[in-house]
Structure 1
Amino acid sequence: MSAPAVAEPKSVAPLPKRRRPSPIRWVKMGGLSKLGFALPIIFVFGLFSWYPIVKSVIMSVQKTNFVMDPQYVGMENFGKVLNDPLLGQAVQNTIEFTFWSILIGFPLPLILAVVIGELTRGRTVASILAYLPAIVPPVVAVLLWKQLYKPEASGLFNTILGWFGMEPSGWLNNVDLVIPAIVVEMTWAGAGTTVIVYIAALMSVRTELYETAEIDGAGIRQRIWHVTLPQMRQIMLLMLLLQIINLGQLFTEPYIMTSGGPRNESLTVMLLIYRYAFADGNYGKATALSVMLALVLGVLSLVYQWVTRKWST
C-alpha cells in the first residue's frame, strides 16, 4: 500500500514593504502639527542634555577658566589627568565603595523584601517603614549620619561603644572605617526604594510554585532558595548593574561627610572632578575626566540595555 502523499506547504507571500509617504502627503497627514508639538520638547532636551555634553567635549581639549579666551591644547588635559596620582586613588576608592556597597547594600534590600513578603500580617506597615528613609532628602540624611558618627564621646555610636566599655572611635577619621561607614549611610538612605522594587517583583512570582513547594514539604528556607531567588534573578542583576552605574557617580555622601578625607581615602572620581573645576579652577582637566567617566558609564549603560532587551524578548 503506497504512502499517502504529503501536501507541500504553501509559500507565504512576503508582506509588501511600507513605503515612506512623500513630503506633500506627509504634510496632508498632519506631519507639521505633530512636528510643532515635538519641537519644544526637542529644544528643551537639546538645550539641557545634548548641549552640555557637546560643550564638555569641546572644553576637554581646551585650556579655559571662563575669564580668558580658551586655547586649544588637544589631548593635553587627558594626559595631565592620567598622570595625576590622585586619579589612581580616586578610582581605587570608587572601586572600594562599589565593593562595600555590593557586600552591604545589595543583599540587605533583598533580605528585607523577602522577609516582608513572607509576612502574613502587617505587610503594608512593614513596607512603609522600610521605605521611610527614602523620603528624607539626601543632604539631610547625610548631615544626620554625620552627627551620629561624631568622633567625640557624645556621638550616638560612640555612646553605644561606651556602654560596653569601649573607647570612642573616629569613624570618619579612620582610614579603615571611612568607606564602610559612608556605605552604611548610603544603604540606610537608599534601601527603601530597592525594597519596593523587590516586593513588586515578588508579587509576580506564581503562587503555584509556592504551593507545589509546600506540598513537597519545603520549608521557608527551601522556598526562598529554590523558588523566590531563581524567579528574581533577572531583576536582581538589573538592580546590581544600576547600583554599579550610580556608584560611578558617587559625590554627595563623601563630599558632605569627609570632603574626600582623611588623606584622600574617600576621594571619588566625581569628587576629583569637582576639585579640578572649583578648587583648582582647571575646567579643562575637569571636563576631560568627565568625558572619560562618561565613556565608562556609557559602556555599563550599554550592558544594562542589552540585558534588559535580552530578557524582555
Structure 2
Amino acid sequence: MPALRTIPSKAGADPLPSPPREVEPRPATGHLAKAVRRNLTAHGFLIGAVLCFAVFSWYPMIREFLLAFQKTESGRSTWVGFDNFRTVANDPAFWQAWGNTVLYTAFALVLGFAVPFVTALVINEFRHAQGYLRLLVYLPVMLPPVASVLLFKYLYDPGYGLLNELFDLVGLPAQQWLQDPDISLLAVVIASTWMNMGGATLIYLAALQSIPGELYEAAELDGAGLLRKIWHVTVPQTRLVLSLMLLMQVIATMQVFVEPFLLTGGAGPEGSTTTVVYLIYQYAFSFNNYGAAAALGLMLLVLLAGFSAAYVKLSRTEDE
C-alpha cells in the first residue's frame, strides 16, 4: 500500500511579506500648532515674566542711561553730554555720600553679615523648638519698615529711650543716638541689621542643616573643639552660600535708603547719614534735576556691576 503524502498546512507556512505601506508625512504646521497648544500655559507665564522685566527693569535702565546725558526743562530733553556727571562730581555732598555709603557697607558686613550666621549656628544646636525660633528670628522681616523704625526711634530717644535706660542701669552715660554725627550711622546699621537679618539667618540655617553629621563626628574624634569644628567643617561646607550672601549684602547695603531716610530724615546730623541713593533722591525730587540723578545712579550701577563681575571672576578662579 503506497505511503500517503502529507500536504503542509497553510497555517504553518511562512507568510509572504506584505508590501510596505506609504506613510503620509504630517504637515509641519499641524505639528507646530499642536506643540503651541500643549505649551500654551508655559508660554503665557513666560511672556508675562518677560513683559514685567521689560516694563519694570529694562526700560527704566535704558531710560536712566539716556537721562544721564540729557537735561530736561519744561518737558523737553536736550543732550548735554557729560555735564550731568561734572555737576554731580563737583557737589560737596558727592564724596560725603560715597564715604558714608562705604562706611555703612563696612559696618553692615561686620554686623549684618556675621550676626545672622552666628544666630543660625545657635539655632542649629537646638533639637527642639526650632520652628518657633525660626519664626521669632524672621518676625522683624514681616513687620512694616515704618513700624520697625518707630520702634527704634523709641529705643534711641535721648530722653526716655530704652537703650539709655539700660545704659543708666550699668552706669554708662546716655547717648544721642540719632543726633550725634559720630554714632548716628552706626545706630542706623544696628536698626537695619535687626530689620533684615531674618532672611539671611534662614538661608544660613538651611545650609547648616545640609552638612553631614559624619563630618562633625570625625572632627570630634580628632579632638577638635567648637571653634575648630566651625572653622574647618562649617565654613568650608557653607562657603558657596557665604560668598553669595556676601555679594548680595554688598549690593543691598550700597543701595540703602529706607532706614536712614526714616530714622534721620535722610541726611542726618551734619550729613552723617547721607547715602548715594538718598543723594539721587534729592537730585530728582528736591532739586528736579533728573539728569544729575540719572548720572549718579549710572555711576552706582557701573560700580556694582564691576564688583559683581570681579566677584564672579574670582569665584571661577577659586573653583578651578
Q: TM-score range by the shorter chain?
A: 0.7 to 0.9
* Residue of structure 2 aligned with 1:295, choices 275, 289, 302: 302
What is the deviation of 1:32?
Answer: 6.5
Superposed, which structure 2 residues align to 1:231-242 within 5 Å?
A: 231-242=237-248
Does residue 202 (structure 1) correspond to residue 208 (structure 2)? The answer is yes
Does residue 29 (structure 1) correspond to residue 45 (structure 2)? The answer is no
Superposed, which structure 2 residues align to 1:77-156 within 5 Å?
A: 77-152=84-159, 154-156=160-162
Q: 1:27 to 1:230 in 2, by over 3 A?
A: same
CA distance in structure 1 between the aligned counterparts of 2:50 and 2:216, rounded to whole angstroms: 48
Letter in 2 for 1:172: L
Letter in 1 for 2:83: E
CA distance in structure 1 between the aligned counterparts of 2:67 and 2:238, rounded to whole angstroms: 44
Letter in 2 for 1:224: I
What is residue 48 of structure 1 aligned with on the other side?
56
Q: 1:211 to 1:166 in 2, by over 3 A?
A: closer
* Residue of structure 2 aligned with 1:60, choices 65, 68, 77: 68
Q: TM-score, normalised by structure 2?
A: 0.82
Identity within the alignment, %: 39
Length, aligned pairs only: 288
Letter in 2 for 1:72: W
What secondary structure does 2:178 align onto?
helix
CA contact (8 A) 1:139 1:252 kept: no
Consecutive unaligned residues in structure 1, runs of 5 or more:
1-23
Deviations 1:75-111 (A, max 9, x none): 1001111121211000000010011111222111111
Deviations 1:201-234 (A, max 9, x none): 0111111111212233333333222211221222
CA distance in structure 2 between the aligned counterparts of 1:230 and 1:42, rounded to whole angstroms: 37
Task: State the structure with more CA Rg.
Answer: 2
What is residue 15 of structure 1 aligned with on the other side?
none
Does residue 264 (structure 1) correspond to residue 267 (structure 2)? The answer is no
CA contact (8 A) 1:238 1:308 kept: no
CA distance in structure 2 between the aligned counterparts of 1:128 and 1:45, rounded to whole angstroms: 32
What is residue 219 of structure 2 aligned with on the other side?
213
Deviations 1:251-294 (A, max 9, x none): 00111111211111110000000010111111110111111111
**Range moving further from structure 2, 98-107 or 33-42:** 33-42
CA distance in structure 2 between the aligned counterparts of 1:298 and 1:27, rounded to whole angstroms: 46
Letter in 2 for 1:132: L
What is the deviation of 1:26?
Answer: 8.2
What is residue 3 of structure 2 aligned with on the other side?
none
Does residue 285 (structure 1) correspond to residue 263 (structure 2)? The answer is no
What is residue 236 of structure 2 aligned with on the other side?
230
Superposed, which structure 2 residues align to 1:172-211 within 5 Å?
A: 172-211=178-217
What is the deviation of 1:151?
Answer: 2.2
Consecutive unaligned residues in structure 2, runs of 5 or more:
1-26
CA distance in structure 1 between the aligned counterparts of 2:221 and 2:258, rounded to whole angstroms: 50
What is the deviation of 1:310?
Answer: 7.5
What is residue 159 of structure 1 aligned with on the other side?
165
Deviations 1:6-37 (A, max 9, x none): xxxxxxxxxxxxxxxxxx95895347666973
Q: 1:272 to 1:229 in 2, by over 3 A?
A: same
Q: TM-score, normalised by structure 1?
A: 0.83
Q: 1:104 to 1:40 in 2, by over 3 A?
A: closer
Q: 1:217 to 1:29 in 2, by over 3 A?
A: same
What secondary structure does 2:76 align onto?
coil
**Range moving further from structure 2, 241-250 or 163-172:** 163-172
